């Protein structure tokens, strides 16, 4: 099993740093002896009984680095309205409570402990670098001789299933916000080589040509663009004025009724999975045919029902897969929150896991919207397979285009790493706790061990191109992705006119 392409990024991305020391709150000698006897979760599990909870002496804000295999979970976010749904946060909250980190009076309400996360992941997506901050009950001397809290998290890990692991726990400053201060998120997507046309009998030169061609497609995503066609647009529209604002008071009754109806469809976001609205995995599929009207009230109704933003002509039942908005449409607004910055998007060399050949896509961005990465991958694959024209990226990244794009499977998407800095301060100012939890060799070692022993064997199951989920996905992709030439030509012509006018206006300034 070749691991180099998957393991090296973890250490290469992360510069070496010296150990970071923190204040040493007191710890009961009983727990100190039990937890410090080993740094492995297995030994901790042998040493601790599930009846034991550490004795808290104080409550303070900490940040945890968490990894998990998302295959058997309905995403990261806990679902209070349906306790039967299995989520990563549900398991984490329970484990921390059993270990002694959450009081019984606070258990079941994450708001009481100021729970926050750096990002959310959808159903089936994996992570090696989710950061969660919370106000946790702390035993005495929790970090005495253990600046990364390895012994502390081993006690928590003894209550977790094998596919979820806390790598480190360090004290956090009160002002730390993991979501707002995360300025770089690094994802990997493992793609069976056959999906992009690479056959097992190809020569090295042929393989290199295919990868170079695919990189030409992927590189076009880099830069800052409106990715409104790569997500559920309604979730990221700017919230309209409140009833007490001067703008609201000056509106007509019709305008006010629109404002009052709109909040149910609007949801701001700061990263791919920072999306609040139930089970996102059910909101769209490759060949979904949900309806949409230009009437504002109907748009809001569809959004309330979590329907995908697909396009349908007013007078017919046929789905419009691509069109251009010639006039502003208040029910389908594009704002600043739809613009995202992609720093890096590329395909690595051909690798092999067991009998499966694959390539690893690296997609790094400041933030991502729901399904954005998976739609980027789906679109790139459709282009490589000649199901979509090469100019579809240019057209789909134009603010006034509305295009339906394919959604790639979630089973092979991994959050690999991230970076943090304090946005309010000039320069790249990093908090010491984030340097420790992101860049320390001891924590990276924990991450590597989890990846190679737990995550990779699970993800490798989804690298067979003729198995699940690829066979069915490719069949649907080949059957449903094409866009009628007349629709594409209309969008192309409208884009050319818009571009000429834009350049003319810019030169006149």
Catalytic residues: 122
Of 115, 276, 119, the closest CA to residue 183 belongs to 119
Show the tokens assigned to 246: 């001067």
Of 279, 490, 330, 497, the closest CA to residue 403 belongs to 490
Of 377, 166, 137, the closest CA to residue 272 belongs to 377
Please give the helix or strand (H or E) that residue 170 lies within, else none: strand 164-171
Of 73, 93, 76, the closest CA to residue 84 belongs to 73
Cα separation of 89 and 96, whole Å?
10
Residues 6+ apart with CB under 8 A from 376: 221, 227, 230, 345, 363
Contact present, 25 and 62 (Cβ < 8 Å):
no
**Cα-based distances in Å from 171 to 60, 100, 142, 147, 314:** 7, 16, 10, 9, 56
Contact present, 455 and 126 (Cβ < 8 Å):
yes
Query: Is 274 buried (19+), middle (13-18) or exposed (0-12) by CB count in 10 A?
Result: buried
* DSSP class of 288: -
* Coil vs helix vs strand at 223: strand
Cα separation of 134 and 101, whole Å?
10
* DSSP class of 199: -
User: Cβ atoms within 10 A of the Cβ of 393, count?
Assistant: 20
Classify the C-alpha dihedral 173-176-181-187 as positive or negative. Answer: positive
Residues in the chain: 509
- Bridge partners of 352, per DSSP, are 357
Query: Is 158 buried (19+), middle (13-18) or exposed (0-12) by CB count in 10 A?
Result: buried
User: Cβ atoms within 10 A of the Cβ of 136, count?
Assistant: 27
Of 160, 159, 138, 158, the closest CA to residue 149 belongs to 138
335-367 residues labelled b (16+ CB within 10 A) or e (exposed): eebbebebeebbbbebbebeebbbbbbbbbbbb
């Amino acid at each position: 099993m070749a691991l180099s392409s998957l393991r090296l990024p973890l250490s290469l991305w992360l510069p070496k740093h010296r150990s970071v020391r923190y204040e040493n709150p007191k710890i009961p000698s009983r727990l100190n002896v039990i937890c410090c006897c080993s740094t492995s979760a297995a030994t901790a599990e042998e040493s601790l009984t599930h009846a034991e909870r550490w004795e808290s002496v104080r409550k303070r804000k900490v940040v945890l680095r968490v990894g998990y295999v998302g295959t058997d979970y309905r995403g990261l976010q806990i679902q209070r309205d349906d306790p039967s749904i299995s989520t990563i946060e549900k398991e984490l909250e329970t484990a921390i409570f059993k270990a002694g980190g959450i009081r019984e009076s606070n258990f079941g309400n994450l708001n009481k402990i100021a729970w926050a996360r750096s990002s959310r992941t959808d159903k089936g997506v994996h992570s090696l670098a989710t950061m969660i901050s919370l106000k946790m009950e702390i035993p005495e001397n929790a970090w005495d001789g253990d600046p990364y809290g390895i012994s502390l998290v081993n006690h928590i890990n003894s209550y977790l299933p094998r596919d979820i692991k806390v790598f480190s726990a360090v004290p956090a400053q009160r002002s730390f916000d993991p979501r707002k201060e995360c300025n770089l998120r690094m994802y990997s997507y493992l793609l069976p080589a056959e999906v992009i046309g690479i056959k097992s009998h190809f020569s090295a030169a042929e393989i290199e040509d295919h990868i170079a061609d695919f990189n030409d497609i992927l590189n076009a995503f880099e830069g800052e663009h409106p990715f409104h066609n790569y997500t559920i647009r309604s979730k990221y529209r700017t919230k309209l004025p409140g009833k007490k604002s001067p703008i609201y008071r000056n509106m007509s009754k019709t305008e006010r009724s629109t404002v009052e109806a709109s909040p149910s469809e609007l949801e701001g976001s700061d990263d791919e999975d920072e999306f609040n609205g139930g089970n996102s995995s059910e909101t769209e599929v490759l060949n979904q045919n949900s309806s949409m009207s230009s009437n504002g009230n109907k748009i809001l109704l569809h959004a309330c029902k979590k329907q995908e933003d697909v396009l349908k002509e007013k007078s017919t039942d046929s789905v419009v897969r691509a069109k251009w908005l010639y006039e502003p449409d208040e029910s389908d607004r594009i704002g600043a929150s739809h613009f995202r910055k992609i720093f890096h998007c590329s395909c690595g060399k051909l690798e092999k896991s067991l009998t499966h050949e694959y390539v690893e896509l690296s997609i790094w961005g400041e933030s991502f919207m729901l399904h954005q990465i998976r739609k980027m991958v789906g679109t790139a694959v459709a282009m490589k397979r000649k199901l979509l024209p090469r100019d579809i990226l240019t057209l789909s990244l134009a603010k006034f285009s509305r295009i339906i794009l394919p959604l790639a499977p979630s089973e092979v998407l991994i959050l690999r790493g991230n970076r943090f800095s304090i946005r309010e301060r000039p320069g790249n100012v990093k908090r010491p706790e984030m340097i420790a939890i992101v860049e320390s060799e001891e924590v990276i070692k924990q991450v590597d061990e989890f990846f190679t022993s737990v995550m990779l064997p699970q993800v490798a199951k989804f690298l067979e191109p003729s198995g699940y989920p690829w066979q069915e996905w490719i069949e649907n992709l080949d059957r449903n992705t094409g866009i009628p030439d007349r629709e594409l030509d209309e969008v192309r012509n409208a884009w050319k006119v818009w571009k000429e006018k834009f350049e003319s206006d810019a030169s006149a300034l």
